[in-house]
Chains A and B, each alone.
Chain A
Amino acid sequence: MSGGTRLENANPVIFQRSGERVLTANDEDEDVHDPIDDREIFDLIRSINDPEHPLSLEELNVVEQVRVKVDDAESNVSVEFTPTIPHCSMATLIGLSIKVKLLRSLPDRFKIDVRISPGTHASEEAVNKQLADKERVAAALENSSLLEVVNQCLSTRSI
């Protein structure tokens, strides 16, 4: 996570950002119950900054709307993310940033599962286990230097 060293993935493929959500009449009607949907979750995480590049997770195709699943009635959210390279050492940090963003944004009733897209990372199982261990996530977030890095990923970038 130290700056200045050689980039792990120096020339990432950059993807097009998706457009803004198209609002329907029901979305604007306060009286209509409006469950949280995949697009809403995607909108929360797509602008998270990559720790290495001045690009968003969406632009690097680390997150995609099709890999977001939400069940509002069951209070479950599951997100799969795809590291840009199979040996990316930032995978845990990226997953943690997605998790923290969702923990901070969603109501407490939600169970949030963040995993690596199957087959896209060398240490997939170890990273998934770490991200699913809420005790280790809680301890990590009490570490002020790590929290600062996470907050940097979550800060809105001025273009």
Chain B
Amino acid sequence: MKEALSLVQRLSAHPDSRCWFVSWSPTGTLLASCGGDKAVRIWGREGDSWICKSVLQDGHQRTVRKVAWSPCGNYLASASFDATTCIWKKKNDDFESMTVLEGHENEVKCVAWAPSGNLLATCSRDKSVWVWEVDEEDEYECVTVVNSHTQDVKHVVWHPTQELLASASYDNNICIYKEEDDDWECRATLQGHTSTVWGLSFDAAGQRLASCSDDRTVKIWKEYPNECGQDLSWKCVCTLSGYHGRTVYDVAWCRLTGAMATACGDDAVRVFKEDETADPDQPVFSLAAQVAKAHSQDVNCVAWNPKEVGLLASCSDDGDIAIWRFQEED
């Protein structure tokens, strides 16, 4: 069996600056990108190619680090180095800035919506993770500030179905949070990486979490039932080492196929597949495809299309987005 990653299209998304992150809308029809040019761009398919549908400017004074779609697809949140998070509302084919969330002391590094769409999490270089609640009138209120990390928090991601939040940090750790009597608490700290953890991705069922790091490895963590009923129990069940030449900036676990993609500082995009015959407590992943020079500079992000099997987007310091098709051939 042969697997291949073929280029569908390359887009000059944020010329003369970095493209930091890309995010697919829940229906998979739109792709949002953001970058060092302070702008967010929305890409859509027209015929056989992807084109820029709108440019969201003037929302931020500095780099836009990450973007996230609400589960309904009607809102887009953008996290910026200007210490704010902007909420954009989709109106027909355009987007308008609706709310600006303020409070973090410095750069906001990531934003993520809970599966219900009622909660939003942000994290910052100020070491904190904030959880915001959204009401019917589109009003946002900060319900919790958690300070479990001792350093810059790089990434936040919600569980695919539950109100469970995970964060990754410059302090090399991952924290898992749950709500407890109206308060969000860190219920597990996942230690194992030996340098900054840059990205996190849950598998489709949410029982496992993949993390990627400056230590050039990807780790797979699995949740185990805990008899005491107190803290959550997550264990590292697999470490992928030796594949990445430099920092691994992002990891994306496809909810449709289970394939795992990584974005690396050595300019490569890689896809790993799990050996389905292996012991679930000792999973085995193997490299299924890689493009060594996927971009001309560091790859910052990889994202699987949520509806179209095998469609993968990546973006880079070179300012480009690349769209790939991952195919398993017989």
Contact = CB atoms under 8 A, between A and B. Distances in A.
Given A111-B265, A132-B214, A133-B196, A138 B36 contact: yes
Interface in B148-165: 152, 154
Contacts, number: 37
Contacts of B297: 108-109
Interface in B224-262: 246-247
A139 interface: yes
B107 interface: yes
Interface in B5-46: 18, 36
B318 interface: yes
Nearest to B154: A135
B296 A136 contact: no
Contacts of A139: 63, 81, 106-107, 125
B81 A133 contact: no
B298 interface: yes
A28 interface: no
25 contacts: A108-B296, A108-B297, A108-B318, A109-B296, A111-B246, A111-B265, A111-B266, A129-B195, A129-B196, A129-B214, A133-B196, A133-B214, A134-B298, A134-B317, A136-B152, A138-B18, A138-B36, A138-B63, A139-B63, A139-B81, A139-B106, A139-B107, A139-B125, A142-B63, A142-B81
B314 to A, nearest CB: 17
Contacts of A135: 65, 109, 154
Given A108-B296, A108-B297, A134-B298, A142 B62 contact: yes
Nearest to B198: A135
A111 B266 CA distance: 8
B170 interface: yes
- Which one of A111, A132, A134, A135 has the greatest number of beta carbons of chain B within 10 Å? A135
A132 B152 CA distance: 14
Nearest to B62: A142
Contacts of B62: 142
Interface of A: 108-109, 111, 129, 132-136, 138-139, 142
Contacts of A142: 62-63, 81
- Dominant secondary structure at the B interface: loop
Contact of A136 (B125, B246, B318): B125
A139 B63 CA distance: 8
Contacts of B170: 129, 133
Contacts of A129: 170, 195-196, 214
A109 B265 CA distance: 11
A132 B246 CA distance: 11
Contacts of A138: 18, 36, 63, 81
Nearest to B265: A111
Nearest to B61: A142
Nearest to B245: A111
Contacts of B81: 138-139, 142
A109 B125 CA distance: 28
Interface string B169-189: 010000000000000000000
Contacts of B214: 129, 132-133
Contacts of B247: 132
B297 to A, nearest CB: 6
A37 to B, nearest CB: 22
Interface string B131-157: 000000000000000000000101000
A134 B62 CA distance: 16
A142 B83 CA distance: 13
Nearest to B214: A132
A141 to B, nearest CB: 10
Q: Pick the 10 closest A-B CB pairs, nearest first.
A: A139-B107, A139-B81, A142-B62, A108-B297, A142-B81, A109-B296, A142-B63, A138-B63, A133-B196, A108-B296
A13 B106 CA distance: 39
Given A111-B266, A129-B195, A135-B154, 16 more contacts: A108-B296, A108-B297, A108-B317, A111-B265, A129-B170, A129-B196, A129-B214, A133-B170, A133-B196, A135-B65, A136-B125, A136-B152, A138-B36, A138-B81, A139-B63, A139-B81
